Amino acid sequence: MANAYFDHNSTSALKPQVLEAMMPYMTKQHGNPASQHSFGRHAHEAIEQARHQVAKAVGAQASQVVFTASGTEANNFAITGIASNLKQTQILTSSIEHPCVTNPAKAMQWRGWEAKSIQVDDSGNVDLRDLQTLLEAPTDLVSVMMANNETGAIQNIGRVVELATRKKALVHTDAVQALGKINVNFNDLNVHAMTVSSHKIGGPLGAGALVLNKRVDIQPLLYGGGQERGLRSGTENIAAIVGFGTACELAKQGLKDFSSHTLMLRQLLEIGLQRTDAIIFGQHANRLPNTSFFAFKNIDGETLVTALDKLGFAVASGSACSSASSEPSHVLLAMGVDPDLARGAIRVSFSADNTKKQVEKFLQAIKQAVKDLRQLTSVAA
């Protein structure tokens, strides 16, 4: 069992205050928010309070927040729901998006759309010239993530919006990794839709949201009893939504500390890594403060993750969401990284609870693990 958890971009531990806020809704407060009695009314009020908390944390109005069960659902909802009400032209997504953005875009090809990919440069930044070229063809929807889950590269959403809206295309951004790590302001970003997720910020699994500009016409993914203003039917997961609201409030309060503390840890880590032959991906990009993505030549990432786990450190190889497959990271391939080197990628993602001591011990452990693995392969060769 690992004693240092460095995989917060995959999922973060539930914060104690979040659990405390959720507890009544998992025990005595069991009303359905659609019911007229006091249990139902109380549940309804709890959801509306959480809606205000989420809205405040992301610089939106409460009426713009539609709760979903995950970031994946919100991204699917955004892409298919918005595209369904537009002309069938092309959907542009960046080549480093999470599959829950690119796959629904590809699925829309069955309904007459064309899905095209926007290139990134070798630092993992979306190539705005490529976007501009692609926008020469009729385009109605563009989706570019605010920050990448693997490299942490923060995208220039302001410029994406400028270029896309000049061509009258709507813009969606996946802010799942940005929330709680950098400032996220829906209003200032001027996007038409934005996705956030609860379990990446110390909230529970089972809650996410799509923040929607009121002028955007969108088709629901789920039809039924008309919850969420008819945009997302299904009895709400009240405890998870309440937890998400509390986690948003805490994330907003703790943003400065999270940023300075995790950046200090990452600098410590990367100074140590630079004394080895590690290659750090996107090192010169404007990145999330808590994220470092790197590889050692001729070392397999999954093997190194297992070795580090035995030494007490939980890290990810490539993207954890796709770790069921041993394909190299599509993000690194898009950045032009050699596939063999990409197979060695390790991602460290910190939270405010990680310590300098853990990072110092990790540096010793990783040096030892790499040395051992190299010795093993040289004996085998």
Instruction: Note the residues at the interface with ligand PLP (CB under 6 A).
Output: 70-72, 75, 98, 100, 145, 149, 174, 176-177, 197, 199, 208, 321
Residues 294, 346 contacting (CB under 8 angstroms): yes
**Catalytic: 321?**
yes
Give me the least distance between CB of 219 and ligand PLP, in Å please: 20
Backbone angles phi, psi at 66, to 5 degrees: -115, 120
Tokens 């300098």 belong to residue = 356
Give me the least distance between CB of 198 and ligand PLP, in Å please: 7
> Which C-beta is closer to ligand PLP: that of 237 or that of 369?
237
Give me the least distance between CB of 145 and ligand PLP, in Å please: 5
Number of C-beta neighbours around residue 309 at 10 A: 13
Give me the least distance between CB of 335 and ligand PLP, in Å please: 16
Tokens 């959801």 belong to residue = 47
Helix (H, G, I), strand (E, B) or coil at 341: helix
Q: How far is CA 256 from the centre of its chain?
A: 19
> Which C-beta is closer to ligand PLP: that of 72 or that of 227?
72
| Dihedral in degrees, nearest 10, Cα atoms 362, 366, 368, 372 | 150
> Which C-beta is closer to ligand PLP: that of 145 or that of 341?
145
Burial class (CB in 10 A: 0-12, 13-18, 19+), 27: exposed
CA distance linking residue 12 with residue 362, whole number of Å: 19
Q: Go through the chain and tell me how many residues it has.
A: 381
Candidates 86, 263, 311, 321; catalytic one = 321
For Cα atoms 344, 127, 322, give the angle at the middle one, nearest 5 degrees: 35
Q: Would the CA dihedral through 121, 315, 181, 173 be positive or negative? A: positive
> Which C-beta is closer to ligand PLP: that of 269 or that of 288?
288
> Which C-beta is closer to ligand PLP: that of 179 or that of 269?
179
Backbone angles phi, psi at 80, to 5 degrees: -75, -40
The token pair at 100 is 């829950």
The residue of the chain with the least Cβ separation from ligand PLP equals 71
Give me the least distance between CB of 112 and ligand PLP, in Å please: 26
The token pair at 150 is 């693997």
> Which C-beta is closer to ligand PLP: that of 197 or that of 317?
197
CA distance linking residue 309 with residue 227, whole number of Å: 43
Give me the least distance between CB of 40 and ligand PLP, in Å please: 27
Active site residue ranges: 321
